[in-house]
Amino acid sequence: MAQKIKIIAATGCPTGIAHTFMAEEALKKAAEKLGVEIKVETHGQVGVQNPLTKEDIRKADGVIIAADKDINADRFVGKPTVDVPVSKAIKDAEELIKMIIEGKARPYRIKNIQNKSMETEDLTKGSGLGRQIYKHLMNGVSHMLPFVVGGGILIASSFLFGIHSADPNHESYNRFAELLNKTGGLGFQLMVPILAAFIAESMAKRPGMVVGFIGGMIAFTGGAGFLGGIAAGFLGGGIIFLLQKIFSGLPKSLDGLKAIFLYPVLGIFLMGLIMFPLVEPMTTINEAMKSFLSDFQGSNPILLGFIVGSMCAFDMGGPVNKAAYVTGTALLAEGNYYFMAGVSAACITPPLIIAFATVFFRKYFNQSEQNAGLVNFILGSTHITEGAIPFAAKDPLVVIPILMLGSSVSAILTYLMKVQVPAPHGGFLVLPVVNGAFQWVFAILIGSLIGAFIYGIYRKRTYQE
C-alpha cells in the first residue's frame, strides 16, 4: 500500500477565537474522510499552537493556507500550496484537500504578494483602490506611531527643565535635559523615513521597505515633511512593482539575486533619481511662503490668523509649516511678540484637536489611537505639533483641512485678543511669561474643541458606513 499523502496546514483569522479552530477541525475531518495525513498549525488568540517543524514542511506533499492574517507563509516557498481565506476551509475543506491529492496545487511563490492581498480583499469585502491605499498608509502610520509618542514625550519632558535647557550655551542648561531632548529628537528624525518605509513595505515587502526608507530620508532631509514622506512611500512601492515587472521573465534561480542585488541597487538608484529633484523646490517654496507671509504681517488679525493657522497645520514638518514658524521666531527676535502668539497657538492646536476627539468620540477610535490621542494632550501642551501627524497621515484629504480650520480659529482669536508670547517654543510651559495667558489658552481651547468636534463627527460617519 502506498504511503499516505501528508498535508500541512496553517489557519488564522483576525480575532483568533473561532474561525481559526473551525477551519482546523474542518480540515482534520476532511483529511480523515479522504484518507490523508494532516497536521494543522493554528494562529489563535492564545498564540501559535501545534507549530509546523522544518521536518513537517520538508516531508509535506502539500500545504493548505487558510488564513486572513499573516501566518508566515514564506516557509512554504516551493511547496504545492492552496492559499485561501479561512472561511473557505470551513466550508469546502474536502475540496481543498482534493486539490492537493489531484496535483492541482501550484508551488508557493512570494512573487504574488500584490495579487494575493487584492484577492483576499475581494473575497472578504468589496475592494477598490481606496481601500488599498488606506491599507498601505495604515501600515506606515502604525509603525511610525511609537517613534512619535516615544520621541515626543522625551522632548516634552526635557522642556520641564526649561525650554532652552538642552542648549549648552543657555543658562538653564541641564545635561539630563539635553539627553532627553536629543534622544527624543532622534525619534522625530526617524518619523518620516519610517512612515515612508512602511507604506512601501505594505506594498512590496522588504524590497519596498528599503527603497521607501531611503525615499523618506530624502524627503525628511530635503524639508518636504510628512507629506513628502507619504509620497516617497508610495513611490517606493511603485518602483519595486515596476522592477518586478521588468525582471519577471528571469529564471527562478535568479530570485535570490533579485532580492539581494537588483531590487535594492536599482530601486534605491531610481528613488534617488526621482526624489532629489522633487525636494529641491522645497527650499524655494519655503522662501516663497515666508515672503508671502511677511506681506501680511500688519494686516487685519482675522486674515492673518487664517493664513498663519492654515500654514501651521498644513504640512507639519514641511516647507509651509516651517515658513510660518521661522517667520514667527524671526519677528520674535525683532521684538514682535504678537505674531509668535498666533503661530504658537496654531502649532499647539492640531495635537489638542486629536486629543479631544479621541476623548469625546472614543468609540470611533481603536485602542492604539486612543492611547496616542491621550499622549497628544502632552504633546500639544508643549508645542509639539508632530503628535498630530500619524492621524493626519491616515486621512490627509479630510484631516488636514480640519486641522487647518481649528488652527485658524485659535490663531484668529489669539490675534484679536492681542496676546503676546515672547518664547519660540514650550507651549503652555511658558504661560508665566505670556501676556494674556488666559485669553491665549481660551483661544486655543476654542479652536481645538471646534476641530475635535468636526473630526469626531467625521470618524463617526466613516465608522457607521
Partner 1 sequence: MILNEYLKEEWILLNQSLKNQEEVFYKIAETAVTNEIATNINEVVEGLKRREEEGTTGFLEGFAIPHTQNEAILRPAIIIIQNKKGIEWNSLDGIPSQFFISLLIPKKEAGTTHLTLLSSLSRMLMHEDIREKLKNAGRSKEIINVLQHLNH
Residue of the chain from 13, 100, 266, 341 that contacts partner 1 (CB under 8 A) = 13
Residue of the chain from 90, 199, 232, 323 that contacts partner 1 (CB under 8 A) = 90
Residue of the chain from 19, 39, 383, 459 that contacts partner 1 (CB under 8 A) = 19
Burial of 458 (0-12, 13-18, 19+ CB in 10 A): middle
| CB 410 within 8 Å of CB 450 | no
Q: Which is nearer to partner 1, 45 or 115 (CB)?
A: 45
**Selection from 356, 365, 346, 376 nearest residue 148 by Cα:** 376
Q: Is the dihedral of CA 319, 322, 324, 330 positive or negative?
A: negative
Q: Which is nearer to partner 1, 28 or 111 (CB)?
A: 28
Q: For residue 119, give the DSSP letter.
A: H
In the numeric block, the cell 481565506 is attached to: 85
**Is 312 noted as a catalytic residue in this protein?**
no
Using CB under 8 A as the binding rule, whether residue 363 contacts partner 1 is answered as yes
Q: Which is nearer to partner 1, 69 or 98 (CB)?
A: 69
Q: In 3-state terms, what secondary structure has residue 335? A: coil
Assign residue 403 a region (left: φ > 0; alpha: ψ between -120 and 50; beta: otherwise). Answer: alpha
Residue of the chain from 46, 257, 273, 433 that contacts partner 1 (CB under 8 A) = 46
For the beta carbon of residue 182, count every other beta carbon within 10 angstroms. 13
**Selection from 308, 302, 305, 339 nearest residue 324 by Cα:** 308
Residue of the chain from 15, 172, 221, 300 that contacts partner 1 (CB under 8 A) = 15
Using CB under 8 A as the binding rule, whether residue 87 contacts partner 1 is answered as yes
Residue of the chain from 14, 103, 107, 281 that contacts partner 1 (CB under 8 A) = 14
Q: Which is nearer to partner 1, 19 or 79 (CB)?
A: 19
Q: In 3-state terms, what secondary structure has residue 463? A: helix
For the beta carbon of residue 315, count every other beta carbon within 10 angstroms. 22
Using CB under 8 A as the binding rule, whether residue 460 contacts partner 1 is answered as no
**Footprint of partner 1 on 117-146 (CB under 8 A):** 124
Q: Closest approach of Cβ 20 to partner 1, in Å?
A: 7
Q: Closest approach of Cβ 15 to partner 1, in Å?
A: 6
Nearest 10 degrees: Cα torsion 214, 215, 217, 221: 140
Q: Which of 7, 8, 10, 13 is catalytic?
A: 13
Binding mask 145-164 for partner 1 (x = CB under 8 A): --------------------
Catalytic sites, residue numbers: 13
Q: Which residues bind partner 1 (CB under 8 A)?
A: 13-15, 17-22, 24-26, 29, 42, 44-46, 68, 87, 90-91, 124, 363
